[in-house]
Chains A and B, each alone.
Chain A
Amino acid sequence: MVDRRYLTYFDWGLLALTFLLATIGLITLYSAVMAGVPTPQEALFTKQLIWYGIGLAAMMICLLFSYKLMERYAWVIYGGSILLLVWAMFFGRTIAGSRRWIVLGPVSLQPSELAKIAVIIILARYYAKYVSGRGFTLRSLQVPVIMTLVPFLLIVRQPDLGTAGLIGLIAASMTLFVKIEKRTLSFIVGSGIAMALPMWFFFLKEYQRQRVLTFINPDRDPLGAGYHIIQSKIAIGSGFLTGKGFLEGTQNALSFLPEQHTDFIFSVLAEEWGFMGAALLIFVFLVFIFWALNIAYSCRDPFGTILAVGITAMIAWQAVINMGMVMGLMPVVGVPLPFISYGGSSLLTTMICVGILLNISMRRFMIE
């Protein structure tokens, strides 16, 4: 049954890059959780290993059928993920003030993670159908805007501004990729500015303005985010050229780093492996993203191309935002580093994305 060409066209390179990132991630996570204060939290490492297993399985399942089925069932996937979000809104578990988890026996999932993929698929379907080279106009953008807005607002309500913002960024990237008509683009940018300025000067209250400014510049909050950022910068900077060595990171060990195994895991890596390690990780991410964009190019089917671009945008944005944040270049938002940060739902999503990329890659002969 299995077409032998699948094997011939199988993208071993992407798989190898995935395993490389997974290995870097697990090593760093091991260090981050073993230094856990007051006691090492090996359980977290084991959990992450299990999640990688589940992720690999999900990735393989993604290979079993052609990604073209996703185009046909895009609405089913999209509708299902919206239902899950609504379910989480009413019956989800609240952790740290945010109702974003669905509990299934021993595992809890964040439906907002799966919503990211659903939005990518539904937008890819729409854009593939109507892409024309002239660019999309305001009128033809109405549908994709609504498609993005529904899960976006549901996730804002949870509230999980990080993930919601990410969905917005992914949608914007995909839309820019399929081209927005020039006048439409300048209209959108212009009206955006025209609305933001009076909002800022007339509608926001002083304390709200302060909050936005603090968000953009965490240094304004020296006891909260600003403190986390300075500790993170010390951790990264103190890694110097070669790092302090595996399990030797002191900032990490002393719990001076916040969320050292989730959002701030990059600083653990940078502290222990130095510039060599951190630069290597950035480089591997870069190669991974180029590889994925190459898959988008080799796919001669608009849906496949746009889908691959959307998925790449997701991974690239998360990597850039996360690393930019811990290095003090960007506001502190809860965005995990793909492959590296601890967290089952995020890992599962990332692995499904790799599966879809592999799927598109190995079926490229079918269009040729």
Chain B
Amino acid sequence: MSGELWKQPLEKLAPAIRAGKVSPVALTEVCLDRIANAGARLDSFIHVSPHALDAARVAEREIKAGKWRGPLHGIPIGVKDNYLTEDMPTTAGSTAPGLSFPLRDSTAAATLRKAGAVLIGKTRTHEFAWGNVTPPVCNPWDLTRVPSGSSGGSGAAVSAGLCVAALGSDTGGSIRMPAAACGTVGLKATFGRVSRDGIVPHSWSLDHAGPLTRTVADSALMMQVLAGYDAADSACQAQPVPDYSKALDRSVRGLTIGVCRNHFFDNLQEDVEGAVEKAIADLAAAGAQVHELRIPLLEYGLGAIFAIELSSSTAYHDASLRAGRVPYYQPDVRMLVEMGRLVTGPDYLKAEQYRSALMEAYRKVFETVDVVIGPTTPITAWKRGEWTVQIAGKPESVLAASWRFTYPYNLTGLPAISVPCGFDRDGLPIGLQIAGRPFDETTVLRVAHAYERDHDWKDRWPQL
């Protein structure tokens, strides 16, 4: 295999490992070395597994013996620190006293192990996945900037080649936002597609699981293993799992791409808008029909997601509130958890009514289009410690701005991917978001792959 091992995507590593051309032990050693050296300043891992090399040795022996388990066999994968793991501690990003999480594998971690993956360590999360900064993690493209969050550790680690892929969780955009900010691919699958069993809850009906990867094909390979029914997650659905890689080589010809001109194009940074408009034009040039549309109901989404997310999170943390642990949370998370008490029951249910209405609005949209595309975020990675950004000359809080385009797909549960679509004038990555019908990850991946194939963004690496 030519080129540096850590720059190789899963799609190339998997056949090379199967053929004995790449050693899982050597690959794991390279990743561990990068975590300890080139990636040390990123601080993207909270825990590096002391068992990773042993797991790689086992994988190598099995593969040599002809017992190849599939594309993830022998592949080093990072696990977000809100997924329970039996051989690594889980903190959910919190140092509050009196909290502990069981040493047992979440369904996703167990599934990856069964597929032969090497769980190389736990990537940092914003505390309880409740934020978009993920301190102290730095963005590989500019160490003075945030990786976004809450899966910021996973985004930074994959972007810098510290692991081949990583798990993330997404309640309002927490897979897609760091994917956009760090220049990786991030897929939030349909609600019910990937088990959330053993993920520390944030907001039960908004939480989604999914992978962060270097390429769209890698995302398809990760999804092939992660997708499926799990009775331990009450939201999981027993839907058939298609072959996600099969449709990747099809072009966008014959597909109709929806561009929602309200909400998703309001108040964008100029470079983000330019890159996304260019991506739309490129997809049209590649044969897709472009259909412009509006979803007026989106205007009410922010109140709805706040009502659901705040009240759910506060319900989860209720025992900690009563036990006096919440004052030990980070100030931003403490504020949100205390604030959830202010959301009334009728407000919560109104938000759930709104969700039904929004899902119906999207159902009608998907009668005409196959996917809806737009920017993943209106802004690129912002400076650490900065809480307000200037967008088109107006100040906006990063909390409000960063998830504006991602949370509609948590409210609706629709699958949505972020794929790199360029860089801004400061050299920071920009994300293109592609959303699809429920359980139609295949079309989402197909469009993302068709776009990715025609551009070289995935071949650019941050200088560390």
| A and B co-occur in one complex | no
B residues whose Cβ falls under 8 Å from a Cβ of A:
none
A residues whose Cβ falls under 8 Å from a Cβ of B:
none
